[in-house]
Amino acid sequence: NAGVTQTPKFQVLKTGQSMTLQCAQDMNHNSMYWYRQDPGMGLRLIYYSASEGTTDKGEVPNGYNVSRLNKREFSLRLESAAPSQTSVYFCASGKGTISNQPQHFGDGTRLSIL
């Protein structure tokens, strides 16, 4: 049982390049999330999808777009990468719009933008 799978694991981009981070979950979860984790800042929510067909902004959405391709897959796109977007990106999934449910995380994509 793979859980939450993120690809790629590492990526180096040049400023201005675009890239899509992929995330897939096999737990039949309704909700999916994208976070970024920076030293000293903790996990910050970028975008989330409460259910298939819906997406909403989180705390730090600027510079990003998302697509909920189907129930399993939720992608994060950087249209024009900036050095400030150098970070570790985590995808997570959960059962949905029900309180007290834990989130299940992938192992992250380490993104460096030069």
Partner 1 sequence: SQKIEQNSEALNIQEGKTATLTCNYTNYSPAYLQWYRQDPGRGPVFLLLIRENEKEKRKERLKVTFDTTLKQSLFHITASQPADSATYLCALEVGGSYIPTFGRGTSLIVHP
Calpha distance 45→42 (Å, rounded): 10
Considering only the stretches 16-24, 33-41, 64-72, 74-82, report the one whose residues sit in contact with partner 1 under the rule CB under 8 A: 33-41
Residues 34-63 that bind partner 1 (CB under 8 A): 35, 40-43, 45, 48, 58
Please say whether the beta carbons of 24 and 34 come within 8 A: no
Q: Quick count: other Cβ atoms within 10 Å of Cβ 54?
A: 11
Select the residue interacting with partner 1 from 99, 111, 112, 113 (CB under 8 A): 99
Q: Is the peptide bond before 8 cis (omega within 30 degrees of 0)?
A: yes
Select the residue interacting with partner 1 from 7, 54, 82, 107 (CB under 8 A): 107
In whole angstroms, the minimum distance from the beta carbon of 58 to partner 1 comes to 8
Place of tokens 């993120």: 6
12, 17, 77, 113 from 33: Cα distances, Å? 22, 23, 13, 22
Residues 64-83 that bind partner 1 (CB under 8 A): none
Residues that bind partner 1 (CB under 8 A): 4, 31, 33, 35, 40-43, 45, 48, 58, 90, 92, 94, 96-108
